Amino acid sequence: MGLARIYEENNDYEKAVELLRRGIQAIPEHRELYANGFYVSARAGRLEAAKWFIQSWLERYPADEEFRRLLDDFDQVIYDEFGIGEPPDTSGPAEQK
């Protein structure tokens, strides 16, 4: 993770993500690898990759409420934390006709 952080700080997001994925292959129960993978991918604008890190963790640990909320509120988190996309519609469900 330290080496991935160095690559991230030097804006080499691809290499950072690659190292985090390799870390997950080696230690799949290390939660922080998935969280860092989400963060680096989102920061790079790679939203599908960011979502993959969350979903991959939840496949292993479906009871993780923090990651579940992150997935459920993905668009809002991406907008709030990274300024990517449009603000999600928070007016509630559309009325049925």
Is residue 26 over pLDDT 50? yes
Q: What is the pTM of this model?
A: 0.86
The CATH number fitting domain 2-82, selected from 3.40.225.10, 1.10.10.10, 3.40.50.720, 1.25.40.10: 1.25.40.10
Chain mean pLDDT for the chain: 92
Residue 52, CA atoms < 13 Å, CB-side half-sphere? 11
The burial of 57, by beta-carbon neighbours within 10 Å (0-12 exposed, 13-18 middle, 19 or more buried), is given as buried
pLDDT at residue 60, rounded to an integer: 97
Is residue 94 over pLDDT 60? no
Report percent pLDDT > 70 for the chain: 92
- Average pLDDT of the residues in 52-70: 98
More reliable by pLDDT, 55 or 89: 55
- Average pLDDT of the residues in 30-53: 96
Domain chopping of the chain, boundaries: 2-82
